[in-house]
Amino acid sequence: MDRRTLLKAGIAGTALFAAPAIIGRSAYASTYKPEYKLSTVVGSAFPWGKGGDIWIELVKERTQGRINIKMYPGVSLVNGDQTREFTAIRQGVIDLAIGSTINWSPQIKQLNLFSLPFLAQDHAGLDAMVQGEVGKEIMGLVEKNGVVPLAWGENGFREVSNSKHEIRKPADMKGLKFRVVGSPIFNDTFTALGANPTQMSWADAQPALASGAVEGQENPLHVFTAAKLNTLAQKFVTRWGYVADPLIFVANQDVWKSWSADDQKIVRQAAIDAGKQEIAIARKGLTANDSSFVKEVEALGVKVTELTAAEKDAFKQAVKPAYDKWVQQIGPDLVKKAEAAVAAARKKA
Ligand code: X2X
């Protein structure tokens, strides 16, 4: 062996021995992107976007800046088309997301479970589903569909608003034009109520409300105020509590695999912590003990109507055909489990 070959062998040998230690950090770090793109529908003025801010901050702190996330609200990474978000995460156009179960239901039909009208009924009912067996099953389905599920958040109970008159009974919705979200279950529900629903994105909803092309919409009260829907002619809100959409914190699979086990643990725990805080923000002033947020809505000159149990029941009866139809789409077994979980929680309460 001449001197040169010896030298090469020596270097190779050293590199080999050093390799395991190096892989610990720098091999991962070198595959890390300078920025990870986090998709949401709404930004920092909303509980949903605040959840994103918290997640970003916790990850930055706990990874000492190794993982740097930037939020892209308005689902801008898919040009505002929120029903394409899930596919874009799977494909890697989006690295991370906090997404609504409604917006991902075109890809995972079981997510329509949360949109079954008057199933959850209140926070206790919703928690019974999300925190229990049903929630685990849903997370399993997200995983099976090629995206890494990390934690739950919440958009909130979607209350109905309109520009025309108070809604107290199904007949009050007759013929009213509503913007509905991107799953056909909402078309069926609003049609069953005698209303006239049109599906459109959140981005299109606001100009449509402003111009009067549609007269009503449904969204959580924290979305109502942050988006200033009172300035878009929405003068009447009815708290009917028919549906709440949970949010799910997720990561693209390849992005997830590119991170060290330690960093995966940090990102997951940060999502869980951010999710808990976000849910508390989404419920603030809208709980059984503290309904102070309703006053804030009324202070905007909006009439807020509370329904009695009997009045709610009239809506529940009217939407039954839509409910029954969607039980078949979602899967009767999953729905039965959810109904049992809700019933058990209500018995306890
Ligand atoms: O589009 C909506 O209504 C919103 C913002 O609530 C969702 O993304 C489900």
What is the tens place of the pLDDT at every residue in 44-91?
Answer: 999 999 999 999 999 999 999 999 999 999 999 999 999 999 999 999
Ligand 1 pocket residue status of 219, Cβ below 6 Å: yes
Do 48 and 39 meet the contact criterion of CB atoms below 8 Å apart? no
Is residue 260 lining ligand 1, measured as CB closer than 6 Å? Answer: no
pLDDT tens-digit readout, 187-229: 999 999 999 999 999 999 999 999 999 999 999 999 999 999 9
> What's the average model confidence in pLDDT over 308-328?
98
Between CA 59 and CA 271 the distance in angstroms is 8
| Chain segment 83-111, per-residue pLDDT in tens | 999 999 999 999 999 999 999 999 999 99
Ligand 1 touching residue 155 (CB < 6 A): yes
CATH no. for 34-348: 3.40.190.170
Nearest-CA residue for ligand 1 atom 4 is: 202
Burial class (CB in 10 A: 0-12, 13-18, 19+), 100: buried
Q: Contact 63/268 with Cβ under 8 angstroms?
A: no
Both tokens of 214, joined, read 């549609």
The average pLDDT across 321-345 equals: 98
**Residue of 76, 101, 181, 183 best suited for mutating to test ligand 1, as the one with most atoms within 8 Å of CB:** 181
Spatial contact of 242 and 322, defined as CB atoms under 8 Å apart: no
Three-point CA angle 258, 261, 262, nearest 5°: 115
pLDDT band at 24 (very low <50, low <70, confident <90, very high): low
Q: How far is the CA of 177 from the centre of ligand 1 (A)?
A: 17
Q: Please state the rounded mean pLDDT for residues 113-137.
A: 98
Which residue's C-alpha comes closest to atom 1 of ligand 1?
202
At 310 the pLDDT is: 97
- Report domain extents, the chain: 34-348
Q: What are φ and ψ of residue 288, in 5° steps?
A: -60, -35
Helix, strand, coil percentages (3-state) for the chain, rounded to 5, are: 55, 15, 30
How far is ligand 1, taken at its centre, from the CA of residue 41, in Å?
7
